[in-house]
Structure 1
């Protein structure tokens, strides 16, 4: 996939995450809820929009290869969907960074249902590094913002 700003495309689906990046792994139990409903919130960008990240371009649903741009506090955030998961007990997608994104890397948003208990868990997995001079300058503050956004994403479901 050309134009992506990193080489490890799809790596949020595997362990371990790539070396040389900051890693994020966070989960939140949603309880025994409808997996389809939770997945729909992820696949239609509601997780981002409920977190204050506005979609400014792109399709209404995450589809493989789709480019989508978000805006957050005046910052354009261009991404490309690099993976879509649609399994009976697991749904979600991953997007990678495009030029102009403040970071370089990939982020995955998913929900998984435990078949034994019916419990649904929301999962955010990412690897990234600063890509722009202002995100490099932000240093540890940028990591704090990333952790805060991850909490907001999980709370949005």
Structure 2
């Protein structure tokens, strides 16, 4: 029931929030390669809540084989917009932005404006870089957030993660992204950007839904 948004010129791309554009796949930001995948990961409120909590405690990245370091909440207050119930009535945020949550090892949950340094390898190449949380959504039927690149990544752009509890009781996990090649190898061989993104998507899915197996 909470929606937080962060806008800052320190990210290294212009189209902040573009992962939420309905026409992302047709009209991605200039020189960027878009990607999107959705998977059914179960059904029911319990599955939705569990997947949402895992998502906001960084499990998609950490259990996806990436190391998180220096997770820092935003230095100042962030804006929490109004959310609405099924009848269109405004509802208050479920908690104050100042009320930070932490996982078992003391890492802050995802919050708008937070920064995190990611380290790891994808497809045999480095996946290091500093990322910033662009927005966070916590609603009755949707939980998710987006990350934007700040510095040091082989690509520049944004990726969003969303858990949806749909009207038919099914729970779906959707990841959307756009990547502009920055590293020389990726600029020369854009196919590597797509390959990197496919591997990341599969890692995220396995992290959020361990029972998932890729069809042969």
Answer whether TM exceeds 0.5 for this pair: yes
1:16 to 14, 19, 23: 23
8 Å contact from structure 1 (residues 27, 154) kept in 2: no
Partner of 2:83: none
**Which segment drifts farther, 82-91 or 18-27?**
18-27
Give how far 1:61 is off.
1.2
2:65 to 49, 52, 70: 52
Q: Which has the higher helix share?
A: 1
Q: 1:15-71 deviations in whole A, cap 9, x for unaligned?
A: 112343211110110111421110111111101111101101214311000111111
SS at structure 1 position matched to 2:204:
helix
In the alignment, the residues of structure 1 paired with residue 112 and residue 38 of structure 2 have an alpha-carbon distance, to the nearest angstrom, of 24
8 Å contact from structure 2 (residues 112, 133) kept in 1: yes
Task: State the TM-score, normalizing by the size of structure 2.
Answer: 0.68
In the alignment, the residues of structure 2 paired with residue 132 and residue 5 of structure 1 have an alpha-carbon distance, to the nearest angstrom, of 14
2:42 to 31, 34, 43: 31
Q: Which runs of 5+ in 1 are unaligned?
A: none
1:91 to 120, 143, 155: 143
Instruction: Kindly report which structure 2 residues correspond to 1:126-145, keeping only aligned pairs within 5 A, or say none.
Output: 126-145=177-196
Q: Which runs of 5+ in 2 are unaligned?
A: 1-7, 73-107, 209-216
In the alignment, the residues of structure 1 paired with residue 127 and residue 43 of structure 2 have an alpha-carbon distance, to the nearest angstrom, of 36
Partner of 1:6: 13
RMSD: 1.5
8 Å contact from structure 1 (residues 12, 125) kept in 2: yes
User: CA 1:137–1:38 in structure 2 vs 1: closer, same or farther (change >3 Å)?
Assistant: same
Runs of 4+ in 1 over 6 A off after TM superposition: none
8 Å contact from structure 1 (residues 92, 109) kept in 2: yes
Partner of 1:118: 169
The structure whose Rg is larger is 2
How many residues are treated as equivalent by the alignment? 156
Task: State the TM-score, normalizing by the size of structure 1.
Answer: 0.92
In the alignment, the residues of structure 1 paired with residue 165 and residue 114 of structure 2 have an alpha-carbon distance, to the nearest angstrom, of 26
